[in-house]
Amino acid sequence: MNIRIVKSIFPGVAVLCLLGASSNSVAMCDNLLDFEPQKLRSDETINFCERFSGKTLLVVNTASRCGFTPQFKELESLYQKYKDQGLVVIGFPSNDFKQELADEEEVAEVCYINYGVTFPMVSESSVKGEQVNPLFKQLIAKTGESPAWNFNKYLVSADLKTVTHYDSSVTPMASELESDLAALLR
């Protein structure tokens, strides 16, 4: 968003103009989506308000060297199956459980090349404890559930009123998670 201060015809009075965003779009952003992390292996950021408003989200904390890492395949399958109905899967690499690679290029290779991930992935961040990123902080507050391990999942309804937590052992496909997702998308 561009902000410009314009001098008015009245001395000492300036007018603040917001270019590129209406006041309605600014006001409509829920605190949950007021987050702009950097994309994995990129200098670009993802503005969650702009990109994900009105979408059903599946937010997952990931790690490249975990026994649950093969869930990337099912997460991608779930994303492909439901993306046209409004689902967005978002991966959050984290080393909170000491199973994430130190090099972001290697993390990206695991996600994009080894598992064919096409859904959004963000740069590594903390998903629990004192350094928890702002989105996970709110997800934890809404559910009372903090990630106990890698590949915890939070299903967030498009209206942001329903947030459901699933632990690592809940697979993305043919599970309670997929049933709950299908119900939300109806």
Domains of the chain: 30-185 (3.40.30.10)
- Give the global pTM: 0.85
Q: Which residues are catalytic?
A: 66
CA distances from 24 to 29, 30, 154, 159, 161 (A): 9, 12, 28, 16, 20
Taking the CA atoms of residue 171, residue 75, residue 144 and residue 31 in that order, the dihedral angle to the nearest 10 degrees is: -160
What is residue 29's predicted lDDT score, i.e. its pLDDT? 83
Residues lower than pLDDT 70 in the chain: 1-28
Tokens in use for 168?
Answer: 């690592």
Cβ atoms of 59 and 154 within 8 Å: the answer is yes
What is residue 28's predicted lDDT score, i.e. its pLDDT? 67
CA distances from 36 to 122, 142, 143 (A): 10, 20, 22
What is residue 4's predicted lDDT score, i.e. its pLDDT? 42
